[in-house]
Amino acid sequence: MHLFSNFERLKSCEFDRNPRVTQGAKLLSESQKLWGGRFTGATDAGFATYNRSFDFDRRLFDADVRGSLAHCEGLRAAGVLSDEDAATITRGLHAIRERASADSTFFNDQAAEDVHSFIEARLIETIGDAGRRLHTGRSRNDQVATALRLWLRDEIDHISESARAAERALLDVAEAHRAAVLPGYTHLQRAQPILWAHWCLAYFEMLARDRERLAEVRRRTNVMPLGSAALAGTSYPVDREGIARALQFEGVTRNSLDAVSDRDFCVEFAGAGSLIMAHLSRLAEDIIIYATTEFGFIELSDAVATGSSLMPQKKNPDAMELVRGKAGRVFGHTLGLLTTIKGLPLTYNKDMQEDKEAVFDVADTVRTSLDVTATVLRNMRLREERTRDAATRGYMNATELADYLARRGMPFREAHDAVGRIVLHAIGRGVELHELALNELRNFSPLIEEDVFDALSLERTLATKSQTGGTAPEQVTNALAAARASLDM
């Protein structure tokens, strides 16, 4: 996949948003309104532009057509539509769906208020009066909610696959450097040595939880509101459960008032996306730091780095900086959605139109950020000699020395204090703990014997962390195998 291939998907949704340029053209024609019988005056051009959502909700086109096809069959099965009208409407919906795929100018409609009125207008143009019967028994309120849930359900599946691809990239780069070690940090200070693969698995676990959360959001999204009509439910004897099965929903909403006003699933999705972006931002920060000259642990390939317009020597980690920066954008959408719904009375209010741009942008940003992160992981080189050298300096085996003394009977608090004094001595000498002579070490405790140097070795330091979840090579090997297996489930 090309690094920015998903951005091509966004280009098709771009429209002129300058009201001064387009407000005259955007006056909604009477024939395309889904309302208007009780109105005698024309809609103000400025308000029509402000009210219009077709620029962005046209992304729901295919989902809305799918919902309409199922609604049509539901009306036919209930005897509300004749077989002839239902067949005509079905053919018409398929026809405009095919035209949308084949005609690049199909959506160039400056008069459409929203995607729902657009579809109905095109349907009536295509099949005549039969198209006017499709809206029987439904409202834009349950229609919009159904289309948005259908669209988001599919998008969650795409994002989950992108997260899975990022997890695979983490495992690939971990397995490519199975024996590599690097310093583990707390407070961004060297703490204890770890395996590089253990570091990769930490981010794998974050993304695994993210996919679990997405699955939970999908389950609550995958409930059908169609049949709730405007707010009180439909008066026609349609089989809601049958329509839900046709659209592969897991069930139907239980309360019509809640169904048309519920946007919890949007907030949950944005929240799950926020956590994904938080995790990607942390990963980006690590990679950015590790790629600096000061650390020098990682080198990014030319495919995922940029240069400076002034300084010829620079190689900048722009891909990861963008991921880190876009996290705040997704967080903002989450807060924006919560703010939008916090004071809304039951049931539908036009405020809810604001949900779509937020949800669309969260989906686009999260998905492309996952894809870019996977690409970066596959286009970086770990400098193993540099990381190993860093993992053996800075007194990172001090805890091992304290544990050594504790195993020989010294209370850990005393051992901690003794090792602190040994570290201070080593700092004064300008050497590492394992470079001190045995007699120097014994000056601080007679419990120290010759075997202390084995205990202080990098290999032993790693191997002792052998409990489940630790960085011991055997544990990490098992964890890698389990992680790989989990991706195939």
Same domain for 108 and 207? no
How far is C-alpha 66 from the chain's CA centre? 25
The whole-angstrom distance between residue 462's C-alpha and the CA centroid of its chain comes to 34
Closest CA to 286 of 277, 295, 273: 295
Q: Which residues are catalytic?
A: 187, 308
Where is 193: in which H helix or E strand? Answer: strand 189-195
The per-residue pLDDT for 109 is 85
Q: In the numeric block, which tokens belong to residue 25?
A: 């053209």
284 and 148 in one domain? yes
Residue where a domain terminates, one of 133, 168, 193: 133
pTM as predicted: 0.90
CATH number of the CATH domain containing 280: 1.20.200.10
20 and 48 assigned to the same domain: yes
Cβ neighbours, 10 Å, residue 61: 22
172 and 311 in a single domain? The answer is yes
Q: How many domains are contained in the chain?
A: 3
* pLDDT for the residue 374: 98
Rounded Cα–Cα distance for residues 309 and 294 (Å): 22
How is the chain split among helix, strand and coil, in percent rounded to 5?
65, 5, 30
- 182 and 256, same domain (yes or no): yes
**Could you tell me if 241 and 170 lie in one domain?**
yes
Phi and psi (nearest 5°) for 136? -55, 130
247 in the same domain as 226: yes
> Rounded to 10 degrees, what is the CA torsion of 258, 263, 265, 270?
-160
Which residues constitute the domain of residue 24?
Answer: 5-133
Q: 369, 390, 411: which is the final residue of a domain? A: 390
Q: Last residue of a domain, which of 390, 408, 428?
A: 390
Radius of gyration of the chain (CA): 30
Strands 298-300 and 380-382, by their bridges, are antiparallel
Q: What pLDDT digit, counting tens, does each position of 159-194 carry? A: 999 999 999 999 999 999 999 999 999 999 999 999
Residues 368 and 442 placed together within one structural domain of the fold? no
Do 122 and 62 fall within a single domain? yes
CATH code of the domain covering residue 73: 1.10.275.10
What does the pLDDT look like over 234-254, one tens digit per residue? 999 999 999 999 999 999 999
Do 180 and 216 lie in one domain? The reply is yes
pLDDT at 10: 40
- What is the structure's pLDDT at 205? 98
Which segments in the chain show pLDDT lower than 70?
1-37
Same domain, 105 and 171: no
For residue 414, give both structure tokens: 């005393």
DSSP at 235: S
Considering the domain architecture, whether residues 144 and 198 belong to the same structural domain is answered as: yes
pLDDT in the model for residue 6 = 42
